[in-house]
Amino acid sequence: MATSVSTVKTDHASRYLQQLCKHWSHRFSVEFDPAAGKVPFSPENSLDLAAEPGGLVMTLTVGNPEDLERMQNVVADHLKRFAFREELDVSWSAHASKA
């Protein structure tokens, strides 16, 4: 299992959180409110989102570490598509997984 975190600076964190969750709710059992969301891509892969003042915190967990980079790119590409009016910096960092 591998986990990575990205804190994206934006004043529109709640808006993007909700857009991402609504987008993926057509395929997955997404849970969200204006402050937090969870996208279970599969039993092994999930994305947790938290809207904080000044930023969107995204925590990505994957069962197979080899899938981490691909999933990071998928999440970042979707966020950037919704935030096309802003130039967001999405940088992921390794995070100790909960075992």
pLDDT digits (tens, 9 = 90+) for 26-51: 999 999 999 999 999 999 999 999 99
- What pLDDT does residue 99 have? 43
pTM of the model: 0.92
Q: Does residue 99 sit within a domain?
A: no
pLDDT tier, 96 (very low <50, low <70, confident <90, very high otherwise): low
Given a cut of 90, whether residue 13 has pLDDT beyond it is yes
Average pLDDT across the chain, whole number: 94
Q: Does residue 95 sit within a domain?
A: no
Q: Does residue 91 sit within a domain?
A: no
Q: Does residue 7 sit within a domain?
A: yes
Q: Does residue 45 sit within a domain?
A: yes
Q: Does residue 98 sit within a domain?
A: no
Concatenated DSSP letters of 29-83? --EE-SSEEEEESSSS-EEEEEEETTEEEEEEEESSGGGHHHHHHHHHHHHHHHT
Nearest to 41 by CA among 20, 57, 66: 20
Residue 37's domain comprises 2-83
Average pLDDT over residues 7-17: 96
